[in-house]
Structure 1
Amino acid sequence: MGVVNVTPDSFSDGGRWFDTTAAVKHGLALVDEGADLVDVGGESTRPGATRVDEAEELRRVVPVVRGLAAEGVTISVDTMRASVAEQALAAGAALVNDVSGGLADPRMIPVVADAGAPFVVMHWRGFLQGGNVRGVYSDVVTEVVDELRARVEAVVAGGIAADRVVVDPGLGFSKDARHDLELLAHLDRLLGLGRPLLVAASRKRFLGRVLAGPEAAPPPARERDAATAAVSALAAHAGAWAVRVHEVRATADAVRVAHAVAETRAASAGDGAEGAR
């Protein structure tokens, strides 16, 4: 899943693709580099970001979705607003990626259910404005799994088909670096929810902390792509359905290698079983 941020204030690449033409061109470039789908968002969700108003989010997102859909690109729309999801789906988006899991807008679940679209449910504990992080956990893996399970049950009860629900642990959302690493170390627990798993680690703060070590300043977001590719390969090996990334080529290569190793291991195991017979 390649990322197209149609925003001036994204933590990673804000402003680079703010123009509709540039955003569409970038989305097509991500597909050329190996993206299977492109995630278009018009509102930054970085800590402290101010919410954009509805009209502006629609102005940013819908033309880009329409332009990419016209080129045959499979698109997810990254939004917490039902109105944006509804218009993006009408413009050609195939999937809704809501970082609030339908909690920010009570109309979201009915809109997605009526459209029959797949829906990404991310682990979310509220907006990250004004220090509202709420990142206190006794056991982050257990709590995230339990809260995601409850949210999946809620969206299914709201009419979204169970086989169209994707889960996302929400790395970096109300979580510090240790929490993010714990979740990545236990993706099997998240896969135990029985839903496709989206891992969105690209360029996030915890990677900067890992790269810097305990004393140094973290490198800028755009210098974390090699680390992102490493996480992507680990997630693919663990069984993730997709990884959401800003720089696609390195991650696509890393995932391809991870799959090749897994296939070779499976073939070797099959050959061993055949020999035993």
Structure 2
Amino acid sequence: MQSEINPANITSSKHSKINLSPLPKCFTDIGRRTLVMGILNVTPDSFSDGGKFINIENALEQAQIMAKYGVDIIDIGGESTRPGAEPVSLEIELDRVIPVIENIKKSVNICISIDTYKAIVAEKAINAGASIVNDISSLSDPDMSKIIADSGVPIILMHKKGTPKDMQINPNYNSVVDEIKHFFEDKIKLATDSGIQSDRIIIDPGIGFGKTVEHNLEIIRRLKEFKDLRKPILIGTSRKSFIGKVLHLDSPSDRIEGTSATVALSIANGADIIRVHDIKEMMRVARMADAIVREAKC
């Protein structure tokens, strides 16, 4: 089933109150090839790359490397959402992400996503040059819907159970896929009722966010079922702990092969966007998977 994305509508909004840069042409390829979102955490405590890119110069260099390898989107986050992470203040998050967005926007021609659940951060990030909001709380901030509706930028709605601090304490579901689908049905309705255009909504089942190893594997196995919602699907498995548990690998940097398997199978099962750390390797995985699954040109 074709995902409900209309690129012509995505790039601008008649209700826009925020100065926006147009989305890159790559968004017209949703459904024809897998988009690759590179992770750029400007935090000291992210589970895989904490502290590596908190310096603006290092962050900019990494963004340029991502652009060189051909990523479609750079996802910038200023607050760790790893299991057990503590929230940070609004001021700290803004201080981390806004200068990075501004500097990347000046030097790299690429789509920027802001990974935040705070409406004020989203608004300021959009003004600084971000053109997608990646909201792990799925509009929990009551002001977020208006920011998205007024700006016209796409939003990624993610499922999670609990908060990063407690989400991995005995997560339980009667049927994990069915419950996540019902969650998205409610959140999509909330979004559209709030004025967000339906074709600007992307869904992320939230691998590792309040799920056991078995839950995560089942989500990937049954990913096609989310196509019933007619929204592009983003999947984020990169280096996550469930891979380490399956393969008995403690270090996130040792999980590239496991990540490759989850990315390839997610694409085969309907993922439209993959969110990854290991850009060079996962670009190749995505292109190979696309050649098989989507019959994309080599």
Q: TM-score, normalised by structure 2?
A: 0.84
Of residues 62, 87, 96 in structure 1, which corresponds to 2:124? 87
In structure 2, what is the Cα distance between the partners aligned to 1:196 and 1:230? 21
In structure 2, what is the Cα distance between the partners aligned to 1:131 and 1:245? 21
Of residues 134, 139, 164 in structure 2, which corresponds to 1:97? 134
What is the one-letter code of the residue matched to 1:185? R
Of residues 91, 99, 112 in structure 1, which corresponds to 2:148? 112
In structure 1, what is the Cα distance between the partners aligned to 2:170 and 2:206? 13
Change (3 A) 1:189 1:28: same
Judge conservation of contact 2:202–2:232 (CA < 8 Å) in 1: yes
Of residues 215, 230, 249 in structure 1, which corresponds to 2:261? 230
Tell me, yes or no, if structure 1 residue 10 matches structure 2 residue 41: no
Superposed, 1:151-166 pairs within 5 Å as: 151-166=187-202
In structure 1, what is the Cα distance between the partners aligned to 2:166 and 2:269? 35
Please name the residue that 1:72 is paired with: 109
Cα RMSD, aligned residues only = 1.6
Of residues 10, 34, 43 in structure 1, which corresponds to 2:70? 34
Deviates more, 1:125-134 or 1:171-180: 125-134
Judge conservation of contact 1:127–1:133 (CA < 8 Å) in 2: no
In structure 1, what is the Cα distance between the partners aligned to 2:200 and 2:90? 26
Of residues 214, 226, 243 in structure 2, which corresponds to 1:190? 226
User: Residue 229 of structure 2: SS of its match in structure 1?
Assistant: coil
Between Structure 1 and Structure 2, the one with more helix by share is 1
In structure 2, what is the Cα distance between the partners aligned to 1:263 and 1:241? 11
Of residues 276, 279, 284 in structure 2, which corresponds to 1:245? 276
Please name the residue that 2:25 is paired with: none
The alpha-carbon deviation at position 128 of structure 1 amounts to 2.5
The alpha-carbon deviation at position 132 of structure 1 amounts to 7.0
Change (3 A) 1:155 1:263: closer
Aligned residues: 260
User: Residue 61 of structure 1: SS of its match in structure 2?
Assistant: helix
Tell me, yes or no, if structure 1 residue 139 matches structure 2 residue 170: no
Of residues 236, 253, 258 in structure 2, which corresponds to 1:200? 236
Change (3 A) 1:113 1:226: same
Larger radius of gyration: 1
> Could you list the per-position Cα deviations for residues 213-239 of structure 1 after superposition, in whole angstroms to 9, with x for gaps in the alignment?
xxxxx3311111221122111222222
The alpha-carbon deviation at position 25 of structure 1 amounts to 1.1
Of residues 245, 248, 255 in structure 1, which corresponds to 2:286? 255
In structure 2, what is the Cα distance between the partners aligned to 1:221 and 1:132? 17
The alpha-carbon deviation at position 134 of structure 1 amounts to 6.2
Please name the residue that 1:274 is paired with: none
What is the one-letter code of the residue matched to 1:228? T
In structure 1, what is the Cα distance between the partners aligned to 2:59 and 2:208? 25
In structure 2, what is the Cα distance between the partners aligned to 1:249 and 1:208? 21
In structure 2, what is the Cα distance between the partners aligned to 1:167 and 1:74? 18
Please name the residue that 2:214 is paired with: 178
User: Residue 192 of structure 1: SS of its match in structure 2?
Assistant: helix
Change (3 A) 1:262 1:129: closer
Higher RCO, 1 vs 2 (CA within 8 Å, ≥6 residues apart): 2
What is the one-letter code of the residue matched to 2:86? T
Tell me, yes or no, if structure 1 residue 62 matches structure 2 residue 98: yes
In structure 1, what is the Cα distance between the partners aligned to 2:279 and 2:206? 20
> Could you list the per-position Cα deviations for residues 4-57 of structure 1 after superposition, in whole angstroms to 9, with x for gaps in the alignment?
000000001100001111111111211212311100000000111111100110
Question: Identity of paired residues, percent?
Answer: 39
Q: TM-score, normalised by structure 1?
A: 0.90
Q: List structure 1 runs of 4+ shifted beyond 2 angstroms.
A: 130-134
